[in-house]
Amino acid sequence: MKKATAIALLLLLVIASFALTSLELDFDGTKVLYFAEYFDLYNEVTAFDEAEIAWVTDGDTVNLIRSKTLKLIEPVRLIGLDTPETVHPSKPVEEFGREASNFAKKVLTDREVILSYDWDPRDKYNRILGYLWIPVEYSGETRYVLFNLLAILNGFGHAYTSFTFNENYMQTFLVAESYASDNALGLWGLQEVVIDTPVEETNPGYDPTVFITNTGTKYHREGCRYLKDSKIALRLSEAKRRGYTACSVCNPPQ
């Protein structure tokens, strides 16, 4: 089994009011950013399989083998990650698509991983929906890096929240995307980044925190009654970019 080594950079960064410990991970010469606190996400994993990567299709889709006995190769769509297209049958190769695909190939090819699942086991194309966890050695222990999150944090894809998934993971993915954007990492370093839903900012310095749920289409103020069962924090500009509209009950900032 290939294992990456994690080297602490002794740097504290503040993201969403939390201090995170920055690490440099080295996957066979491919060096990437991760945060030590993200190792704890693996603690939520319950249902999982050991698997081996057969090949990488593109930045957010892989083929792997879950059963070493049957040797059945199965396609997996990575939850919460959306990368520019490279192999879509009706779309041209999108900008930064090859870079995202090559990143996935460098990090994942021939690697043994843990495949975990969410509430929805397959997508409409019958692909498995899953999270890929890569074992690394850190502080004398084997810990697990979430590749879906790793790609977003390093600017090789967007947080894909059109379909809901684990609430804690979803919020972490959004924070990681904001970090990559703020630091012009990967595709965010391009001169122009195409945004599906343009937002007019009358006051660029005003970008308060609002809240969304894992099922709704509205954004809310903290304390809104609709946040009783689910509450995910993000910036107002990000909520608008993703197509959320203001709740008429709590009347959040607009």
CA 179 to chain centre: 12
Query: Residue ranges of the alpha helices (H) in 90-195?
Result: 97-108, 147-153, 167-182
Calculate the alpha carbon distances from 126 to 58, 69, 73, 77, 161 in Å. Answer: 17, 22, 13, 10, 19
Q: Is the Cβ–Cβ distance between 100 and 83 less than 8 Å?
A: yes
The residue among 33, 185, 159, 19 whose CA lies nearest residue 107 is 33
Place of tokens 């967007």: 158
Catalytic annotation, pick one of 24, 52, 74, 77: 77
Catalytic annotation, pick one of 127, 167, 235, 241: 127
Query: Residue ranges of the alpha helices (H) in 36-121?
Result: 97-108
Three-class SS of residue 29?
coil
Lookup: tokens for 198: 């343009």
Lookup: tokens for 177: 């995307």
The dihedral through the CA atoms of 214, 219, 220, 225 has a sign that is negative
74 is catalytic: no
85 is catalytic: yes
Q: Is the Cβ–Cβ distance between 222 and 232 less than 8 Å?
A: no
Catalytic annotation, pick one of 85, 221, 238, 242: 85
Q: Is the Cβ–Cβ distance between 218 and 246 less than 8 Å?
A: yes
Catalytic machinery residues: 77, 85, 127
